[in-house]
Amino acid sequence: MPANVNARVWLCGCGTGGGVCRLETETTALRIGKKRFEVAPGTGSREFRLKLTLVQAMRHESVVSGLAQITIAGSQGGAPRKYTVGELLDQPRAQLPFSLRYFQTLEQLVTLPEGFEPHETGVRLQSSKLRGGPIEQSFSWKVAASGTS
């Protein structure tokens, strides 16, 4: 694989704010857009399914890989509080690995603690192909109706 691959990767999410965040480096262009990050109800009262879809648009001979970290911000007992998906799984340093040539969907079930009210979800992508550093984007916490995803 050549060292200077002009790959394009999109992390698409259904956040508020109309624009697309974009970072381009010598080796890759990552975008965070709309409609590819979902929160759906799980089977338990505090359980939710997080679904994140990553898409690479060009140079499919190149595999893009890295780690995704999802953070849920809200309030608990009247004070601001954040949880990473890893903390909710009792694995504080855990992140979601990705490796894709065309696209990949990452899904994770999480159970929120009693008394925690989520307001926002943050996504952070790290890849060795990002010389400019990680890509970060936040989305309003919106739970999709059952059966819509």
Joined together, the tokens standing for residue 41 give 């109800």
Nearest to 112 by CA among 60, 70, 67, 58: 70
Worst-scoring range by mean pLDDT, 14-18, 88-92, 99-103, 108-112?
Answer: 14-18
pLDDT value of position 92: 84
Work out the average pLDDT over 82-106. Answer: 88
Nearest to 122 by CA among 35, 15, 41: 15
Classify 23 in phi/psi space as left (phi over 0), alpha (psi -120 to 50) or beta: beta
Structural domains of the chain in order of their starting residue, each with its CATH number: 7-140 (2.60.40)
Classify 77 in phi/psi space as left (phi over 0), alpha (psi -120 to 50) or beta: left
**pTM for the structure as a whole:** 0.75
Tell me the CA end-to-end span of the chain in Å, nearest whole number: 36
Work out the average pLDDT over 116-131. Answer: 86
How big is the chain by its Cα radius of gyration, in Å? 16
* One-letter amino acid for residue 105 of the chain: T
